[in-house]
Chain A
Amino acid sequence: MCAEACPVSLLPQQLLWYSQAEDHERLEAHNLFDCIECGACSYVCPSNIPLVQHYRSSKSDIKKAQEEKVKSTQARERFEFRKQRIELAEKEREAKRAARREAAKQAQASTGTDAMADIVAAAQARAAAKTTSPEQELAKLQRAVSSAEMRVEKAQVKLDSALENAEPTEKINILSAALSGAQQKLEKAKVRLAEHSN
């Protein structure tokens, strides 16, 4: 009589049976998800079986199982893709290594001295590219000399004012050391400029 009561023509008896057996495939084949949970079957059931409760619990079980299936599929796909990616990277690296080994072998095969000469020539070329022109070098040295002169003057002024104000001996010592250091640097800059001019 439940089957006659059902407004969407389901078979409540079978659904209950498979619901208790947790047979999800059979439940879906019996269109469990078309159940609108109206409760007509339960209303007429002489045995007072809470049919709709069983169906609802089965529905949520099935949904949960489906979600878990989707999740596990995604996880598997991710894992497989990662494995593939790592394999690919490893292969590329292996290919590079092989290419380098091949190049080295070929270099070995052609005469060894030539290879060395090539390397030296290349290093020389790189060094030549780095060196600046003589005019730039001269200007740079002149700038160094003038800035050193400026620093000597500043140090002289500081030392003079300290002597006038009768500052403590430690400070005067430090200032005079700074002045002599600046004077030495000026000397060196002048020497370098002179060397360059020659």
Chain B
Amino acid sequence: MAFRQVSSPHAHGAQNTARLMQLVVWATIPGLIALTWHFGWGSFINVMLASITAVISEALILKMRRRPVGFYLGDYSAVVTAVLLGLALPPLCPWWVVVIGTVFSVVIAKQLFGGLGYNPFNPAMVGYVVVLISFPIEMTTWVTPLALLPDGITHPDFLESLKLVFFSTSPMDGVTGATPLDSFKHAAGLTVDQIYQQDSLFSQAMFAGVGWEWVNLGFLVGGIVLLGSRVFTWHGPVAMLVTLALMSLIFWDSGSSQSPGSPLMHLFSGASMMGAFFILTDPVSSAVSNRGRLIYGALIGILVYIIRAWGNYPDAVAFAILLANFTAPFIDNYTLPRTYGHTDRRKATERLEDK
């Protein structure tokens, strides 16, 4: 009898990739509920459609790569990618946007780089950026939050939403509107107080933006659950959120017409919380040491703010995370932890002759 594993440990913990991935999927539920409550069935349909597409395309590409299909589908990584992409895409966007984004994520961003554990970039964000750049109109049309719809109009019900997703040729009318970040971007010449008074997105909100504050709170709750179950460490998310808050505080400009928005608005708008807890914590494409994750998270926070405030896109989490993914190996080289028994940290680029 041959032992599968001959060196320590001769036992294994109960954790495995499938469970971890399932946990991540469950942790997105609060965010998904908030999205569905405030923006209709669109996000739910996105998630379902993306998941089905991801499983099918993962199975096909695994077959083409001659890898065991059942084994790799069983790790749920494709489903996690699909769920995150589905949550990131605008509700009620056409079905082909979802399908193209998902196929690109799974096939090109993940499997062509070698599958789970070998992708240098976060697959969901690669798919998101590809469709964002390719189909800007579909990707920047957001549904109006439930609370701001005119009396007598509601979001389309489930069947109608399906019809819209699959058969509508033009973007929806009537129920679409700007997001809080859009409002700030296009409200040139108005002070923050004026924007808050004029725009019902803010005037009817508790502290950030109608609907969006709840979506972000949902992802925050899910993220704290994952943090509590030690799926990732606090370093990345906290560094990103703190940096984002600091940046918006520094450039707050006491609410003048030049101000890109308050820290609270930035923390609870767009994909801030989802990015902080579900995207940048990807163990494959992020930095590996705690110090590295602090730098990596801070870099994302800075980039998100810079692109939001002075870039062309209203939100920037996807771009910021992809840019930071580029830097992760570099950060890793210079943030090795101090090994027990050593007095100094070393550098990965250290050559033996240097000593």
Contacts and interface: CB of A to CB of B under 8 A. Distances in A.
Given A11-B337, A42-B8, A50-B7, A31 B15 contact: no
Interface string A1-27: 101100111110110000000000110
B346 A48 contact: no
A64 to B, nearest CB: 16
Given A31-B342, A34-B340, A47 B348 contact: no
Given A3-B289, A11-B289, A26-B348, A34 B8 contact: no
B17 A46 contact: yes
B341 interface: yes
B336 A30 contact: yes
B16 A29 contact: no
A81 interface: no
A33 to B, nearest CB: 10
B70 interface: no
Given A31-B339, A47-B117, A48-B16, A37 B8 contact: yes
B288 interface: yes
A42 B9 contact: yes
A56 B288 contact: no
Given A13-B288, A30-B336, A31-B339, A39 B8 contact: yes
B9 A56 contact: no
Nearest to A12: B288
Contact of A14 (B288, B342, B352): B288
Interface in A50-78: 50, 52-53, 56
A29 B17 CA distance: 29
Contact of A8 (B8, B289, B332, B340): B340
A117 interface: no
Contact of A43 (B9, B230, B337): B9
A43 B12 contact: yes
Contacts of A43: 9, 11-13
A69 to B, nearest CB: 11
Nearest to A57: B7
Given A9-B340, A48-B16, A50-B7, A31 B346 contact: yes
Contacts of B342: 31, 34
Interface in B1-38: 5-13, 15-17, 19-20
Interface size classification for chain A = 20 to 34
A9 B338 contact: yes
A29 B20 contact: no
Nearest to B346: A29
Contacts of A39: 7-10
Given A42-B12, A44-B15, A37 B7 contact: yes
Given A29-B350, A39-B9, A42-B8, A3 B339 contact: no
A40 interface: yes
Contact of B17 (A13, A34, A47): A47
B19 A46 contact: yes
Interface in B220-239: 230-231, 233
B351 interface: yes
A46 B75 CA distance: 10
A39 B290 CA distance: 20
A46 B349 CA distance: 29
Nearest to B16: A46
A40 B12 CA distance: 9
Contact of A3 (B230, B288, B340, B341): B288
Given A7-B340, A8-B340, A25-B352, A44 B7 contact: no
B332 A46 contact: no
Nearest to A37: B8
A52 B8 contact: yes
B228 to A, nearest CB: 14
B233 A34 contact: no
A48 B4 CA distance: 11
A13 to B, nearest CB: 5
A28 interface: yes
A152 to B, nearest CB: 93
5 contacts: A4-B233, A10-B337, A11-B288, A11-B289, A43-B13
The 7 nearest A-B residue pairs measured at CB: A39-B9, A39-B8, A8-B340, A31-B339, A29-B350, A9-B337, A43-B9
